[in-house]
A and B are shown apart, each in its own frame.
Chain A
Amino acid sequence: DAGITQSPRHKVTETGTPVTLRCHQTENHRYMYWYRQDPGHGLRLIHYSYGVKDTDKGEVSDGYSVSRSKTEDFLLTLESATSSQTSVYFCATTRGSYEQYFGPGTRLTVT
């Protein structure tokens, strides 16, 4: 968790509403990632960023968008939340020899 915070930590929202999750890092790392964790699926990559304004899709990017306007912040937006997006969302950064370090997670419930 060192150096990475996520907000909010918990959120309940209704189907069809937009939702934005924030990841903030304090250590100036270039790479940042958004994952979702679901039982039986492990962690699946949603989007990642390799620099300010540089982002790419992961394996489960449909229904999600991201933005990175400054190094320390990586935002994940659910444009119109659906019940299938109920999950725990983790942000991560890369340091050292490719290992990633994770934030504490955001538990999102879409009703």
Chain B
Amino acid sequence: AQSVAQPEDQVNVAEGNPLTVKCTYSVSGNPYLFWYVQYPNRGLQFLLKYITGDNLVKGSYGFEAEFNKSQTSFHLKKPSALVSDSALYFCAVRDTGKLIFGTGTRLQVFP
């Protein structure tokens, strides 16, 4: 079965510093991978996806993600964090007809 793991419950970073939110995956076949963000009391918002092609994927709000097949990872990154990036982030992998989500990582950006 397809699965993703987010090893960190929380990531803390100072505003202006680079941020990384980690995700590893386990799939049979080629992975279709996604990142979502959830702001307080809101639904999830799609950030970016990897289907095929370049290993560095660019998405919304200045976020990008690096697909690494040898390490089975799909880490979310941003060169310079903003306080407004503080939110809950979910990694997901496609399974037949549906998505399987990780447990989420809370990102806290301090001024």
Contact = CB atoms under 8 A, between A and B. Distances in A.
Most buried by A among B32, B42, B43: B43
Contacts of B99: 45, 98, 100
B97 A104 contact: no
B46 A100 contact: yes
Interface string A87-99: 0001010000111
B43 A1 contact: yes
A56 interface: yes
Contacts of A105: 41-43
A97 B49 contact: yes
A74 interface: no
A97 B51 contact: yes
Contacts, number: 52
Contact of A42 (B41, B51, B90, B94): B90
Given A48-B98, A98-B99, A100-B44, 10 more contacts: A1-B43, A33-B98, A42-B90, A42-B101, A42-B103, A45-B98, A97-B32, A100-B46, A101-B46, A104-B42
Interface of A: 1, 31, 33, 35, 40-45, 48, 50, 56, 58, 90, 92, 97-105
